[in-house]
Amino acid sequence: MLLFLVPLLTIAHLVSAVCECGYAIGNNEGDGFSLFMDRLETDFSQLHYLSQSHDWVAQQFTVSAKDGRGNYSKAFTPANVYIPGGKSQDQSEHEDGLQLRVSSDIGKDKKVPASEVDTARLDLHWGSFRAGMKLTETKGTCAAFFWYFNDTQEIDIEFLSREFDYDKGIYPVNLVVQSKQSLEAGYDASKTGTYKRVHLDFDPTDTFHEYRFDYLPGQMEGDDMPSAGGHLILQHWSNGNPLWSGGPPTEDAVVTVSYVKAYFNSSDIQRQSFLSQKCHEYSEASICLIRDVTNPTLPGKSSNGSNLPPHDQDDESNGAVSGLRAEQKSLSWSLNVIVAISFADLGLGVLVL
């Protein structure tokens, strides 16, 4: 598997233009664009309550120790999802943003209180997905940002706090694609070609960083590619599995999410038609170019298109006007500003050039 470093300073900024014809994302090599017609942007640092955003839903469910392959059950509850300043929350010691907590208060039922929020929309297909996150220093949890359709169609970025070694400066991140292969391996993607463990060269618990994965059309083929639209999930949990989350934590563990930005094509036919009708005539002013990272704590602004290649009206993909897409050479993970890994190197299908 090939691991390589790239100067990837890309961040989705708050949109100031109308963007009738979509959002242009530069590729890793700087010689082309991908164009997406839809977006989902949430600046959690500007919210007082999660309910102010109609895009996200706090989840409540329990995964048994047996089903979760752990020593404890995971009890996801909305009480562990909060924003500083909300009612009955004294969180002045934490940064502004969405707080995802794993509680150390475990009862006799051996359920670890955990946290999860999902997008309300279930039609996110091809796209570029990013989150500004500050991870927990507390050992024994798993923090995840991922795209999900079902248990065999899932694209994950996962952090295991037990793996962080501050003395040696070791900070791994696990890139996981759950597939039919991982199902056959008992949902252990590490036994397949769709898993990669990458070492970051910064402390992800020290401040906010942007974590990103790009899932792009026309670049990959194969049985392990997701076949439908899905949704985004932010999750923080522990079940005592010594081979994964470890723990449970001996004190409350909190992950802070400052924002989520998603630029994508919808899998919903009616949504595709609506967005296509909005784009009456292509022009640079009708496309928003997603600018580079300036501060992963806070979202910034995007701009109207500039230095964009000519538009091909005949080139369409998944209901989107996609003439800016053509020059991509790989489908890549992009982590913060330093790491990119080709999905081809993760064994996910065949790279199409």
Burial of 300 (0-12, 13-18, 19+ CB in 10 A): middle
Q: Where are the beta strands (DSSP E) in 151-279?
A: 153-160, 171-178, 195-200, 209-215, 220-221, 231-237, 253-266
CA–CA gap between residue 333 and residue 325 (Å, rounded): 17
One-letter amino acid at 30 equals: G
Query: Coil, strand, or helix at residue 190?
Result: helix
Kindly report, residue by residue over 198-254, the tens digit of the pLDDT.
999 999 999 999 999 888 766 555 566 677 899 999 999 999 999 999 999 999 999
What is the number of domains present in the chain? 1
CA–CA gap between residue 70 and residue 240 (Å, rounded): 6
101 and 237 Cβ atoms separated by less than 8 Å: no
* pTM summary value: 0.79
To 5 degrees, how large is the angle CA 41–CA 340–CA 101?
Answer: 50
CA–CA gap between residue 191 and residue 187 (Å, rounded): 9
**Phi, psi (degrees; rounded to nearest 5) at 274:** -60, -45
Strands 111-119 and 73-76: what pairing? parallel
Whether residue 310 is preceded by a cis peptide bond, meaning omega within 30 degrees of 0, is no
| Residue-range definition of the domain harbouring residue 252 | 4-351
121 and 243 Cβ atoms separated by less than 8 Å: no
Q: Which two tokens stand for residue 17?
A: 């233009």
Residue identified by tokens 């707080």 is: 99
Length of the chain: 353
Per-residue pLDDT of the chain (353 residues; tens, 9 = 90+): 222 222 322 323 333 447 999 999 876 555 678 899 999 999 999 999 999 999 999 999 999 999 999 999 999 999 999 998 654 444 445 578 999 999 999 989 999 999 999 999 999 999 999 999 999 999 999 999 999 998 778 899 999 999 999 999 999 999 988 777 777 767 666 677 778 899 999 999 999 999 998 887 665 555 666 778 999 999 999 999 999 999 999 999 999 999 999 999 999 999 999 999 888 766 667 899 887 566 676 654 444 444 444 433 333 333 333 333 322 222 234 433 323 333 333 433 322 22
Give the CATH number of the domain where residue 200 resides: 2.60.120.200
The CA–CA distances, whole Å, from 174 to 144, 193, 231 equal: 9, 13, 20
Q: Which two tokens stand for residue 225?
A: 């590619």
